[in-house]
Chain A
Amino acid sequence: MEAALLDELGGADTPERAESWRYSRNALRALAQLPFGVADPDAALAPEVCAQFAWPQTQGRRLVFINGRLSGAHSDLRDEGIVVADDAATIRIVDAARPLHLVHIGVPGAAATRWQTALRLQVEAAQASLIEQHIGASGAELFAVFDLRVEIAAQAALDWIALSELSEQASLLRRVELKLAAQSQVRRSDALFGGRMQRLELGVELAGAQARLESRGMFVLRGREHAEVRLDIRHQARDCACDVLWRGVADQRARGIFHGGITVEPGADGSDARLSSKNVLLSALAEIDTQPVLEIHADEVQAAHGATVGQIDERALFYLRSRGIPLEQARRMLVAAFCAQALGAIGDGGLRERIDALAQARLPSPDAAQ
């Protein structure tokens, strides 16, 4: 079963792919022990799950998938700017007054289940925006594989927020392939919360001249949660830019991995590549690995990268306490401020507050045992 699962997820077909699973192989191996059944796409949604995605600002532009299949009952699509093909596997954004909200919900069954789905998204609007949300409800073990291919037309722009809120029993593998044509722009902000095993593979081809990617993201983990983020950004044309800024927080026995790969291919002259990955450990048993990998095969390239793993700044902590702020509150303030560096790009106030609240809820609470 384990070998089959590794093969199926593409881990064994090349040495590079197998190596890319180095940090998450044990987590995957543990999952592979489970006898997965097929998840039920007609599963009912609990009211509290519905409340997680029923946001007023995305009314009329919402597509809800339950265990991988589009749910007519929960989706709400009245906007003409969005075109969904009959098989629901291809979505086109041709006009963009408000964000398209894609919701993927994993609903557990009586025993361990899994589901898999693939989507294709074409962005043709000058200023489109997308909210990609993954919810892994709590219950029995659940393992989802989500493949998404996004194409950005020349001169189009996409503002994209991706949020995953997984229970401790939910696992999610996301393989996102993004291709940008000339002078197009994508600004993606990720927030990853929870999960027994979650892995985000974000492959980006800056295929046309002057394409630009801004990737912001954070993961906040606790308990025995395990999350891995792998970016593979390829500069393929002249004068492209990428700006990557990620923050990670791990508490208790949680495990985080950030791999930031940027390749400037031959001929992609005039590239500008920036990467920053900073991480904070809140407990002695938590672990985060970060690897920035820049490969440059072109001329006139500007590149900068920095990666750190550390603890909360003791000087700042003492400064706050010396003004009367209790220890745990001071720690929360500093961690929240640390995470906020990665969320600065999210303009939508309501959504920003929601993500802030999710992060806060996962930080050590004042009454938690030390």
Chain B
Amino acid sequence: MLKIENLHVRVAGKEILKGLSLEVQAGQVHAIMGPNGAGKSTLGNVLAGREGYEVTAGSVSYDGQDLLALEPEQRAAAGVFLAFQYPVEIPGVNNTYFLRTAFNAQRKARGEAELDSMQFLKRVREKLAVLHLKDELLHRAVNEGFSGGEKKRNEIFQLALLEPRLAILDETDSGLDIDALKMVADGVNAMRDPARAFIVVTHYQRLLDYIVPDVVHVLADGRIVESGDASLAHKLEEHGYAWVAQRRVAGAA
């Protein structure tokens, strides 16, 4: 589904990703772990199409098409979703209105019929129940005045509503207490599907106790330096990221 080859990305003149390669199949959950500054968030932003990220080499192919050639809204319509590390507050834009506009814009772009307010609201209610979110959040402006946990749950709520095929979760666990973490994990697990893939970017292993990944990658200094199964996350938690760096040095010698 997703194939990243030798990706080099520069941000503000500084090279952040230095030859990252990654292949994700439909139905898989990949976790990307790594120390601060390794380039984890850069990866999510590049895949979603944020401006200011200059791809200097490499390619990203999604369902056989060049993902990097698409505008952010085209990527969304094609099924790519980024759950933001820092969801943006948008005063004056009602949350329900925002969600319906996004939902219908994606359907329109795919040539599908748009939903009217009644049909849309029915769908919203179903998804709200899964994430234990209060109705009241729908009547407020997008993320405005939401607590940290509410913002993250709102991201996962959008994920549930928009039903993307490739979901990238950028440190969705940061700032969450254990109950919120479980709700987020439940929401993601309910969405796991043979046709859908997840890339879960996280600093800590804790989230991966609840969302058990198929593959774990360690991202350090702009490339993937180690890949393994779910047990790799536990080893990292035990030994720290320095352990990976040492193994690399040992392997190189």
Contact = CB atoms under 8 A, between A and B. Distances in A.
Contacts of A336: 92
B71 A322 contact: no
A340 B92 CA distance: 7
Nearest to B99: A323
Interface string A300-339: 0000000000000111101111111111011001101110
Contact of A325 (B48, B87, B105): B105
Contacts of B141: 337
A319 B109 contact: no
Interface string A329-356: 1100110111011000000000000000
A318 B162 CA distance: 17
B101 interface: yes
B166 to A, nearest CB: 13
A329 B105 contact: yes
Interface-central residue, A321, A324, A327, by most chain B CB under 10 Å: A324
A327 B70 CA distance: 13
Interface string A134-146: 0000000000000
B205 interface: no
B72 interface: yes
Interface residues of A, number: 23
B47 to A, nearest CB: 10
A334 B73 contact: no
Interface-central residue, A313, A314, A323, by most chain B CB under 10 Å: A323
B76 interface: yes
Interface residues of B, number: 30
A323 B71 contact: no
Contacts of B106: 323-324
Interface in B90-149: 90-93, 98, 101-103, 105-106, 109, 141-142
Interface-central residue, B77, B81, B92, B98, by most chain A CB under 10 Å: B92
B72 A338 contact: no
Given A324-B77, A324-B106, A325-B101, A341 B72 contact: no
Nearest to A339: B92
Contacts of A330: 73
B158 interface: yes
A341 B92 contact: yes
16 contacts: A318-B72, A319-B87, A319-B90, A319-B142, A321-B71, A322-B48, A322-B49, A322-B81, A325-B73, A325-B101, A326-B109, A329-B105, A333-B93, A333-B101, A334-B93, A337-B93
